[in-house]
Structure 1
Amino acid sequence: DTSRALEILRQLIRIRTVQPYGDEKDAVGYILSLFPEECIEKIVVDHGDNRASLVLVVPGEDRSRKIAVSGHLDTITVGERSLWTKAPFGAETDGTRVYGRGAADMKGGLTSMLLSARAWLDSGRRPPTDVLYCFTADEEVGGTGARTLLGGGFLRGVEELLLVKPTGEKIGLAEKGALWLRCRMTGKSSHAAMPEQGSDTIASFFALYEKIRHLFNGEKRHDLLGHSSCVLTSIKGMDMPNVVPECVEGVMDVRTLPHVDHDVFLEKVQGVIARMRRTGLFHECAVEVINNRPPVGMHFHSPLLKNLEEIYAERSMSWSVTGMNYFTDASILVPALGVPFAILGPGDEGFFHQPDEYVDLDSVERIAGVLFDFAGKRKA
């Protein structure tokens, strides 16, 4: 009921699971208190330093088959406190809106998952197959929770996967990949008054950046994600204004469409560097991959999407498909599991990671119903 939904949501917002420390174990403890029954399996995966992930297994009629619903426990930082008009961890309400850091990303979605799991227990019925409700740590940074669940074999045999994220109830079928490249280029230093005695490493670095961007020229536009992109997000040279730097280091954030193979793309980057180096513009350029999240995508005519369409229609909910320009745990789980997936949840992506973040309680309850029906529509 609505009072239960509000109480769970407010408690989750009040429990601070803020990066970089996470402290997700505090949220895990609260979630466990909501499920005292012995009939539900509870798997706590301890990551140390008060960080943990959790898997709740609702047993199905056919215990040999399983689906998974996954959402993350951690949130980003509050940011500049003066920009908030609501207490970041006060869980204040205004009508059906509930405010706080992580309200949309992802305490609202977690509440939907918990309501769905509780609904199965309260009904006295079993879903057709096992349903794994996965609550992961560290999604916002390194994906520790998702990687550990995979490595521990907890998701072995999962046939379908729903990832809960704030999509405004839209159904996400594709997600851009991310490659963060730290490039360190070296040349010859000189006095800025005599630049001909050195190499203009900064200009060469920008030339490299432009050539990498142009690797996506002619790429066909994706219906949900648009185009791949490459953005220079930081650059550092010499602190002295009158010195041409010997070394320039910068970071490029590359976002890729589902057809892009990251290994092939990195080979192309190395080819660009090799061709430029032969011209003598610089001595060396080392590339370090500091984040590698592959893109993922689903077919528009998949049975999973058809199933979700029917659920939305039965609940008189309007539906549309969308794509995620940012990475989620899907980039870790989907390639490893190789199963059909979709991303959906309460909360608008335009309002998460913002001051006065909020989620609509009605939307939280609607998505809880979708998650419940999704598990119930499985054929044993």
Structure 2
Amino acid sequence: MTISTIERQILDHIDDAQLIQWVQELTRIPSVWRPQTGAGEEAAARWVAARCREMGLETHFEEVQPGRPNVIALHHGRNNGPTLMFEGHTDVVTEGDPAQWTDPPFAAVIRNGRIYGRGANDMKAGLVCALIATKAIVESNVRLNGNILIGAVCDEEGQMIGIKDFVRRGWADSVDAAIICEPEENHLCIAQKGVMWMRVRIEGVMAHGAMPLTGVNSAYPMARLLTLVHSLEEREIARFGCHEFLGQPSITPTILRSPHVGEPQNNVMPSATETILDFRLIPGQDAAWLAQQVQIMAAAACAADERLCFQAEVLEVRHPTHTGRTEPLVMELA
């Protein structure tokens, strides 16, 4: 691919040493959301906002929930042209047991050409790349025929309250195209699975293990339900096959609680059993229809005893997405 004079002018302002330094700095700021202590993304977001202000961007610091802000920064071009968004998130998943790490999880140690730290890959590095790219554009004095918008949002690893707030406040209305700076092994990712989470609770009657006939065990109908859910997954795979980019759809029971509240005991039959179902959707699947099927299957699983009842609730739906191969941004980056 031939690089234009303007592109070369911008690329000449990419500072690799600063990029590495910034990735280390941002990785060293823990930004795991910890509800028990209230610790979250604020320190990381303030670091991002400071870098944006240093390069002269119009910077907005918007609190979504206490300690959980979004940072939105704008570099204005000329001619009132289109807006390209660089999107990333400041939160990272839990580091787990620090004793299992070779180095401290937030040390951002460089070894064998890699930076090791929780969130270095997902996605402090991608966020820093967006900052460095924008900084190079600013310092090159190239006047774009459009705008750059950086969105560093909170809570991508949870309920996505950050990007929802970004949309609710109207920021997305001005965005014509977006590059999501997630790690994809340097490949363009033009499709994304959707997700639906459901909670299903089956209620029976608690009893002592020595007198099980005085109660109704909720574990058995839950076992029947999960068997039916597995068969639904197999039917969906047979219907939709393997997507070119996303592979097969799936339905995964991720949490199973019995009893659903309180402490389990070896000699007590649970009064209720609860599961969370994680649906990963590919284009063409119908989330509402799938939720209806779970309702039908839960009713069937409880049909053996009139004392059994169930509750099935959709917690969240995020639909699958696909960007066409011939979209201008895809063609330009391919």
Task: Note if 1:90 corresponds to 2:115.
Answer: no
Which stretch of structure 1 is more off in the superposition, 35-44 or 174-183? 35-44
Write the letter of the residue equivalent to 1:46.
Answer: E
Q: How far, CA to CA, are the matches of 2:73 and 2:218 in structure 1?
A: 54
State the secondary structure of the residue aligned to 1:171: coil
Deviation at residue 295 of structure 1 after TM alignment? 2.2
Identical-pair percentage: 26
Unaligned runs of 5+ in 2: 1-14
Q: How far, CA to CA, are the matches of 2:157 and 2:308 in structure 1?
A: 37
120, 132, 138: which one pairs with 1:121?
Answer: 138
What does 1:94-173 align with in structure 2 at a 5 Å threshold?
A: 94-173=111-190
TM superposition score normalised by structure 2: 0.83
Structure 1 residue aligned with 2:230: 213
Deviation at residue 303 of structure 1 after TM alignment? 3.7
Root-mean-square deviation (CA, aligned residues, Å) is 2.4
Structure 1 residue aligned with 2:30: 16
Runs of 4+ aligned structure 1 residues displaced above 6 Å come to none
Is the contact between residue 204 and residue 281 of structure 1 (CA under 8 Å) also seen in structure 2? no
Unaligned runs of 5+ in 1: 310-380
TM superposition score normalised by structure 1: 0.74
222, 242, 247: which one pairs with 2:243?
Answer: 222
310, 313, 323: which one pairs with 1:285?
Answer: 310
Change beyond 3 A, Cα 1:10–1:188: closer
30, 40, 43: which one pairs with 2:60?
Answer: 43
Q: How far, CA to CA, are the matches of 2:43 and 2:93 in structure 1?
A: 16
Structure 1 residue aligned with 2:321: 296
Q: How far, CA to CA, are the matches of 1:247 and 1:151 in structure 2?
A: 38
- CA deviation digits over 1:192-238, x for unaligned, max 9? 56656654432211111222232230222212222222222232335
Q: How far, CA to CA, are the matches of 2:41 and 2:301 in structure 1?
A: 47
State the secondary structure of the residue aligned to 1:52: strand
Is the contact between residue 199 and residue 281 of structure 1 (CA under 8 Å) also seen in structure 2? no
Is the contact between residue 22 and residue 74 of structure 1 (CA under 8 Å) also seen in structure 2? no
Q: How far, CA to CA, are the matches of 1:200 and 1:176 in structure 2?
A: 36
Which stretch of structure 1 is more off in the superposition, 103-112 or 290-299? 290-299
Change beyond 3 A, Cα 1:152–1:284: same
State the secondary structure of the residue aligned to 2:150: strand
Deviation at residue 145 of structure 1 after TM alignment? 1.4
Which stretch of structure 1 is more off in the superposition, 233-242 or 137-146? 233-242
257, 261, 270: which one pairs with 1:245?
Answer: 270
Write the letter of the residue equivalent to 1:233.
Answer: T
Is the contact between residue 180 and residue 291 of structure 1 (CA under 8 Å) also seen in structure 2? yes
Structure 2 residue aligned with 1:59: 76
Is the contact between residue 200 and residue 281 of structure 1 (CA under 8 Å) also seen in structure 2? no
Task: Note if 1:267 corresponds to 2:292.
Answer: yes
Is the contact between residue 55 and residue 138 of structure 2 (CA under 8 Å) also seen in structure 1? no
Question: How many pairs align?
Answer: 309
Structure 1 residue aligned with 2:255: 234
State the secondary structure of the residue aligned to 1:6: helix
Task: Note if 1:184 corresponds to 2:201.
Answer: yes
Change beyond 3 A, Cα 1:83–1:276: closer
